[in-house]
């Protein structure tokens, strides 16, 4: 199973290495790939396909998956990366095996009907201390037709960083259902 890990604005692909997510996924038999989004992390010289907060073209992640040979992929999408993952999910559902949004931005850009048309299994994750995006993204994403929810107690917006053990248990538990 291929897993594509995205990241938030203040973070990079290195976070997944530091908290052990790449290792956890490898032990679970997954091919895990963490990328730096354009203009962030080690790709600072790259030009972002859209300004922060605007929707990026779905073709960006489609191209990443094609170039890396990631067949139907599990997309893990925290915070800022929602501007990339949501258009990709809604326009290229056949390329997505499962979707794991972690309080992503831009969830308000789509209608309940658009979310209901998504049939891929989704695990909505957020920290109960996330006053910014947790509840707001849950309200919109709960329209996904095939979803479950994990609320991480005592965790903030980057809940996976606040409690990597709980994050890894929730993630691997979900992946084992696919």
Q: Identify whether the C-beta of residue 90 lies closer than 8 Å to the C-beta of residue 58.
A: yes
Of 85, 122, 130, 168, catalytic? 130
Q: Which residue, 102, 107, 109, is CA-closest to 130?
A: 102
What are the two backbone dihedrals, phi and then psi, of residue 5, each rounded to the nearest 5 degrees? -100, 120
Of 7, 147, 157, 168, catalytic? 157
Q: Identify whether the C-beta of residue 3 lies closer than 8 Å to the C-beta of residue 31.
A: yes
- Cα distance between residue 129 and residue 155, in whole Å: 5
- Cα distance between residue 2 and residue 97, in whole Å: 9
User: Concatenated DSSP letters for 99-131?
Assistant: EEEES-S-GGGS-HHHHHT--S-EEEEEETT-T
128 is a catalytic site residue? no
163 is a catalytic site residue? no
Of 13, 77, 79, 122, catalytic? 79
Q: Which residues are catalytic?
A: 79, 130, 157
């Amino acid at each position: 199973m291929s897993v594509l890990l995205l990241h938030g604005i203040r973070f990079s692909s290195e976070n997944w290495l530091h908290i052990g997510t790449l290792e956890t996924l490898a032990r679970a038999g997954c091919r895990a790939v963490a990328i730096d989004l354009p203009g962030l992390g080690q790709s600072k010289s790259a030009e972002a396909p859209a300004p922060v907060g605007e929707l990026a073209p779905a073709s960006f992640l489609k191209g990443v998956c094609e170039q890396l040979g990631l067949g139907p992929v599990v997309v893990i999408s925290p915070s800022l990366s929602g501007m990339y993952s949501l258009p990709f999910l809604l326009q290229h559902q056949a390329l997505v095996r499962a979707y794991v949004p972690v309080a992503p931005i831009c969830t308000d850009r789509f209608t309940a009907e658009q979310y209901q048309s998504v049939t891929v299994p989704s695990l909505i994750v957020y920290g109960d201390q996330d006053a910014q995006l947790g509840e707001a993204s849950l309200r919109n994403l709960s329209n996904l037709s095939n979803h479950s929810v994990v609320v991480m107690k005592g965790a903030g917006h980057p809940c996976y960083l606040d409690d990597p053990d709980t994050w890894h248990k929730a993630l691997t538990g979900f992946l084992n259902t696919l």
